[in-house]
Amino acid sequence: MTLALVGDIGGTNARLALWRDSQLSAVRVLPTVDYATPADAIRTYLAGLNQPVEALDSVCLACAGPVQDDEFRFTNNHWRISRRAFSAELGLRHLQLVNDFAAMALGMTRLDLADRVVVAQGEADPDSPCLVIGPGTGLGVAGLLPLKGGGWRALPGEGGHVCVPVGSAREAALWQYLSQQVDHVEAESVLSGRGLLTLYRACCSLDGVEPVLQSPAEITGAALAGDAYAAGVLEQFCAWLGRIVGDNVLTLGARGGVYIVGGVIPRFVDFFLASGFLDAFRDKGRMSRFLEAVPVWLVTADYPGLTGAGVALEQLLEDG
């Protein structure tokens, strides 16, 4: 029996699963820091299932970063992978490396209605692209393009590294402070897990507040528990996300809708839905009406990136 394996590898975790009959099975999450290479993590995963490495035939890995040449370097962890060496080491017939947010985008094509929460009502244009965006270890951005005759094509990019927009005097002050700390104030600087902590410390510095919270989880927990200052920081996080999402919708022409994904926002869904995200999203002057028609969903599915890697593998095998 041959095995098909899919992986969704981010800065912190490698999510691995078997792909059988267009479904995920045996999902496991392994910390990337615990393994020297992706191949080591896969061997550990298969050993835990009592499956021999020799049975492995096809692999698709969704990788955080731009996927181009033979050697790939992960953006937010220490792993590297050579397509040729990796295939030879594991004895693979088929290997597919895809950008992690391209896989995330493809995962939206298999999403159940129960796996998304409506953030903004709208009428999706079935002939227009969709935007897939979300903060996690970094900030991922991808497009999803409908094809004539059915099917979808993912459009990967590195939109998490665009400049942070400034839409208020407060944001201008925060940008100025951040520009003194880093060479490039990119969206990911504030719109990610570690970005939330950076944003909190920047706010504290500007306001003369002692920074007592030491992690993104502590900031979120304090905000949800009623800490007014932490709630203000989280509100700024949501507003800045709204601006970035709106910019991307206008750039892509994403009238097909927006899928907000990643591991950060699902931790405070009710807060997010009540935040100023939508006001910031639509705050585009004469283009605000364009954005009012665009539906927005928050994705709560457990492993959409893994599912998307499976879809990408199916496409590879179907194409021969």
Q: Taking residues 196-200, report their average pLDDT.
A: 97
Residue 170 phi, psi (nearest 5): -60, -45
Could you report the per-residue pLDDT of 99-139, keeping only the tens digit for each?
888 999 999 999 999 999 999 999 999 999 999 999 988 89
Binding residue per annotation — 8? yes
Binding residue per annotation — 11? yes
Could you report the per-residue pLDDT of 232-264, keeping only the tens digit for each?
999 999 999 999 999 999 999 999 999 999 989
Q: What is the pLDDT of residue 76?
A: 67
Report, in this order, helix, strand and coil percent for the chain, each rounded to 5.
45, 25, 30
CA distance linking residue 97 with residue 214, whole number of Å: 35
Binding residue per annotation — 9? yes
CA distance linking residue 267 with residue 269, whole number of Å: 6
Q: Residue 80: is its pLDDT beyond 90? A: no
pLDDT, averaged across the chain: 93
Q: Which domains are delineated in the chain? A: 3-106+303-318 (3.30.420.40), 112-300 (3.40.367.20)
Q: What is the pLDDT of residue 1?
A: 58
Q: What is the pLDDT of residue 315?
A: 87
Closest CA to 204 of 213, 191, 192: 213
Q: What is the pLDDT of residue 63?
A: 85
Q: Which residue has the higher pLDDT, 156 or 168?
A: 168
Could you report the per-residue pLDDT of 56-75, keeping only the tens digit for each?
999 999 987 777 767 887 76
Alpha helix stretches (DSSP H) within 37-91: 38-48, 83-90
Close Cβ partners of 277 (under 8 Å, ≥ 6 residues apart): 119, 238, 239, 241, 242, 245
Binding residue per annotation — 12? yes
User: Regarding beta strands 71-73 and 80-82, do their DSSP bridges make them parallel or antiparallel, or are they unpaired?
Assistant: antiparallel
Single pTM value for the model: 0.90
